[in-house]
């Protein structure tokens, strides 16, 4: 099985990658279109040069790797994707041949966290619109995409990971709840800038507190993302205890 997990930044996406890697039967890849995205947009992200030399920048080469033999002889292949990387010029036809899952998080939390590491992001930078577009595209292909909310995972990791595995036809294992401290061998080169908190973890953090109250442009950005979040939130997987 090839699992494409579509996220935006600061969405629990790295912890989810570690969770699937901890299964033992699953190879993982970290944001494989990042260099292609930076090449096509010219954006000046942190560690831009290091990213460009660490990955293929041609989308066709990236896709060949995603759809070729699964690394390390594993049974499954987990792709950690940023939805905002799928810009014009990046083919999407391959998504019909993977299991598509959408990992969402409340926009206010994303904006508060991402803006602490990236100066004044825009809606295009945080992935909500692109997630919604990809979700609609997968539905149009006749597929049944899955949505999981990071808040649900943090509130009840076992219940919601079990429900996610059931939806995609993957056996549940409690190994998904724990991973070694210090990162993963397949972390992207940008990990030193972004992954500090998760590198210090050995499992999912506890439930989040109140949604942050934003002001000014941050509040405006969160509000512009909210309709996309709410549309996908209505599709989110529920643990059996939620009915």
- CATH number, span 2-242: 3.40.50
Give SS3 for 22: coil
At 45-81, the pLDDT tens digits run 989 999 999 999 999 999 999 999 999 999 999 999 9
As a dihedral over the C-alpha atoms of residue 126, residue 60, residue 189, residue 27, rounded to 10 degrees, the angle is 100
Provide the 10 A C-beta neighbour count for residue 209.
7
Ranges of beta strands (E only) in the chain are 2-7, 26-30, 76-82, 99-104, 146-149
Q: Please report where in the chains the tokens 């972390």 appear, as a residue.
A: 187
Percent of the chain beyond pLDDT 90? 84
At 151-204, the pLDDT tens digits run 999 999 999 999 999 999 999 999 999 999 999 999 999 998 889 889 999 999
At 94-120, the pLDDT tens digits run 999 999 999 999 999 999 988 887 788
Please report which confidence band the pLDDT of residue 83 belongs to, taking 50, 70 and 90 as the band edges: very high
Angle at 129 between CA 90 and CA 108, to 5 degrees: 130
Percentages helix, strand, coil for the chain, rounded to the nearest 5? Answer: 50, 10, 40
Give the mean pLDDT of the chain. Answer: 94
Residue 93 confidence (pLDDT)? 94
Please report which confidence band the pLDDT of residue 242 belongs to, taking 50, 70 and 90 as the band edges: low
The reply to whether the predicted model has a pTM over 0.85 is yes
Please report which confidence band the pLDDT of residue 22 belongs to, taking 50, 70 and 90 as the band edges: very high
The alpha carbon of residue 4 and the mean position of all alpha carbons in its chain are separated, in whole angstroms, by: 9
């Amino acid at each position: 099985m090839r699992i494409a997990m579509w996220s935006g930044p600061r969405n629990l996406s790295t912890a989810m990658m570690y969770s699937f890697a901890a299964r033992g039967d699953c190879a993982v890849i970290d944001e494989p279109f990042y260099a292609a995205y930076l090449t096509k947009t010219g954006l000046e992200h942190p560690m831009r040069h290091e990213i460009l030399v660490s990955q293929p920048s041609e989308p066709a080469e990236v896709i060949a790797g995603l759809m070729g033999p699964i690394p390390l002889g594993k049974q499954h292949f987990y792709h950690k994707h940023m939805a905002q990387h799928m810009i014009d010029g990046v083919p999407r036809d391959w998504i019909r041949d993977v299991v598509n899952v959408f990992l969402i998080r409340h926009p206010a939390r994303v904006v508060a966290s991402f803006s602490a590491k990236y100066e004044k992001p825009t809606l295009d930078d945080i992935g909500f619109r692109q997630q919604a577009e990809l979700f609609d595209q997968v539905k149009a292909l006749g597929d049944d995409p899955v949505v999981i909310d990071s808040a649900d995972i943090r509130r009840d990791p076992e219940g919601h990971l079990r429900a996610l595995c059931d939806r995609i036809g993957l056996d549940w294992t409690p190994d998904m709840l724990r991973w070694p401290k210090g990162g993963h061998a397949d972390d992207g080169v940008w990990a030193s800038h972004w992954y500090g908190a998760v590198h210090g973890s050995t499992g999912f953090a506890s439930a989040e507190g109140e949604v942050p109250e934003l002001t000014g442009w941050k509040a405006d950005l969160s509000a512009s993302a909210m309709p996309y979040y709410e549309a996908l939130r209505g599709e989110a997987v529920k643990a059996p205890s939620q009915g």
